[in-house]
Structure 1
Amino acid sequence: MYVVSLLSVLGGVAFAALLGRFLGQEQRLASVEFNGQALSLIGGVLLSSFILLTGFQVAGAWSALSTARSRTYDEARALGDTYWAAGGLADADRVKVRALLRQYTADVRTVEFPDLAHGHTSPEAWRALDRVRAAVGAAAPAPSHQSAKSAATTALATVYETRTDRAAEVKGGMPRITWIALLVAGGFLVAFPPVLGLTATARHLVALCFVGAAIAFAICLTAQLNHAFQHPFGVRDTAFTFAESRFHQMDG
């Protein structure tokens, strides 16, 4: 899970080293070549632009990630409510609905979550949920079971709602233009010292490489946070493992 971050950091180091080596000066320029106020203004604008874009990306991605994680627990709770309500159905209907709920939950955990990491939901899980709805709809309409059937239908509607929200969040992400702006700002920030005449000494190049590594890591981190269901920071299947444990408790 750290390979991408490490490669990004090394790429930032290489980028900074190449810029410092080929754009840097062999000798220090005379002090008259520099305008301290102008350089301070330009450097401050570049740094603040990069920080602003990075903060915007991280805040937006983290908010989407938190929402997606919360929705999975909402879906898991709705599955538990449906499972509990199914306990009031006729014996044959109860066994069938609960078995189908267990199958759907297992499909989400084992089949769909790997698909979510690749940007799409699982048709198999959708079909499993449709079978649950069909079984609840076909349950015996006896007056003694009507309240349980109604409760199961309501809880199942919540499952569909949260699942649809999760399907929409899979395709979510920050606008592409902000990524382009972030990369451009980071590149200019690393290139700023060599363009101004940074001497290509070993000490200066090492310092510039640290700057490149920090900027590359920040960009990589924001990119990894941008996808709510991708590793290493994406939502896991913990909520559905919890739902399965609740099923076992209710069976007991």
Structure 2
Amino acid sequence: MYLVSVLCTLGGVAVALVLGRLLGSGRRAATSEFNGQALSLISSVLLSSFILLTGFQVAGSWSALSTARSRTYDEARALTDTYWAAGGLADADRTKVRGLLRQYTEEVRNVEFAALAQGHTSPEAWSALDHVRAAVGVASAVRPDQQTAKAAAQSALGTVYQTRADRAAQVRAGMPLITWLALLVAGIFLIAFPVVLGLTATPRHLVALCFTGAAVAFAICLTAQLNHAFQKPFAVRPTAFSFAEARFRQMDG
């Protein structure tokens, strides 16, 4: 899967090696006249590569996190639309559909979000939503207003299924593995670069190197935490479904 990327990376190493051997054996290179500029260029490229990879990871993960959070509010709004539309059904059907909607919403808020953190959805929540659809499907619609209410409930329920399917697809979504490997390698070499050049082990130099290591490790840890939309500490919370339950109570009143 990643053969092309690996070959391109090895090609870059080969080109750098050949140019280094050919152009680094002249008189001016032997006298170290350009070493300072060369090392500054290498360190700048290395730092820029790490920043580029980190920014790519953070931007992609944050976008996925924001999308997952907005999808929960889309689902909650569709649930309230279904609940409202069910108010136009016959008394028995209205009571049944609204009770099943409350059951589904509670199941998602209390049970499913814990399952999402483990990387899967709740089968019980899927079953509860299927019960809602079945109840709406068999609801009687004799009068025109009941037919309109039933059609509106089915339409809103279709949106619930769509947003729920999107949420299920995002549970295991994440940035490609190869970008994580590239970020890790770039981070390690960025920390090791001063040592490779012969950094002396004085307390002042070690403090600066430790700060570099801490900054690199924090950046990698932050990107890893952002990569999973439903896992702490930046996890999407079931706030939207608490909002839906509050709207249910308002509509009941």
| TM-score normalised by the chain length of structure 2 | 0.86
- RMSD between superposed Cα atoms in Å: 1.3
1:135-194 per-position Cα deviation (integer Å, ceiling 9, x unaligned): 000101212411100000000000000000000011110000000000000000000000
1:135 corresponds in structure 2 to 135
Aligned to 1:93: 93
Hey, what does 1:157 align to over in structure 2? 158
Task: Tell me what 1:62 maps to.
Answer: 62
Determine the C-alpha separation between the residues in 2 that align with 1:117 and 1:146. 40
1:202: Cα distance to partner?
A: 1.0
Specify the structure having the higher radius of gyration (Cα): 2
The match for 2:109 is 109
CA contact (8 A) 2:82 2:157 kept: yes
Whether the 8 Å contact between 2:89 and 2:141 is mirrored in structure 1 is no
Structure 1 residue ranges (4+ consecutive) displaced by more than 6 angstroms after TM superposition: none
Matched position secondary structure for 1:170: coil
Cα shift at 1:131: 0.2
Aligned partner letter, 2:150: K
Higher relative contact order, chain-length normalized (CA < 8 Å, sep 6+): 1
Structure 1 residue 33: Cα displacement: 9.7
Q: Deviations over 1:78-110 (max 9, x none)?
A: 000000000000000000000000000000000
Cα distance per residue 1:114-137 (max 9 Å; x no partner): 010111100000000000000000
> Residue by residue, what CA displacement relative to the aligned partner does 1:200-220 show, whole Å, maximum 9, x if unpaired?
011111110000000000000
Aligned length: 222
The one-letter amino acid of 1:197's match is: G
Unaligned runs of 5+ in 1: 1-30
**CA-CA distance at 1:35 after TM superposition:** 1.1
> SS at the partner of 2:237?
coil
Distance in 2 (alpha carbons) for counterparts of 1:184 and 1:32: 28
Does the aligned pair in 1 maintain the 2:113–2:238 contact within 8 Å? yes
Does structure 1 conserve the Cα–Cα contact (< 8 Å) formed by 2:115 and 2:122? yes
Once the two structures are superposed, what CA deviation does each residue of 1:40-84 show, in whole Å capped at 9, x if it has no partner?
A: 111011100000000000000000011110100000000000000
The separation in 2 between residues aligned to 1:149 and 1:242, in whole angstroms, is 24
Which aligned pairs between 1:154-193 and structure 2 lie closer than 5 A?
154-193=155-194
Other-structure match for 2:4: none
One-letter amino acid of the counterpart of residue 76, structure 2: A
The gaps in structure 2 that reach 5 residues or longer are 1-30
- Which residue of 1 is the match for residue 14 of structure 2? none
> C-alpha distance in 1, partners of 2:136/2:117?
31
Aligned to 1:221: 222
Name the counterpart of 1:197. 198
Identical aligned residues as a percent: 79
The amino acid of 1:38's aligned partner reads A
Counterparts of 1:166 and 1:195, CA distance in 2: 46
Q: Return the offset for 1:234.
A: 1.4
**Residues 101 and 129 in structure 2, CA contact (< 8 A), matched pair in contact too:** yes
Supply the AA of the counterpart residue of 1:79. Answer: L
| Structure 1 residue 32 displacement after superposition | 5.5
| 2:23 aligned residue | none
**Which amino acid counterpart does residue 99 of structure 2 have in structure 1?**
A
Change (3 A) 1:67 1:120: same
Q: Secondary structure at the match of 2:47?
A: helix
1:238 is matched with: 239
Structure 2: how far apart are the matches of 1:123 and 1:188? 45
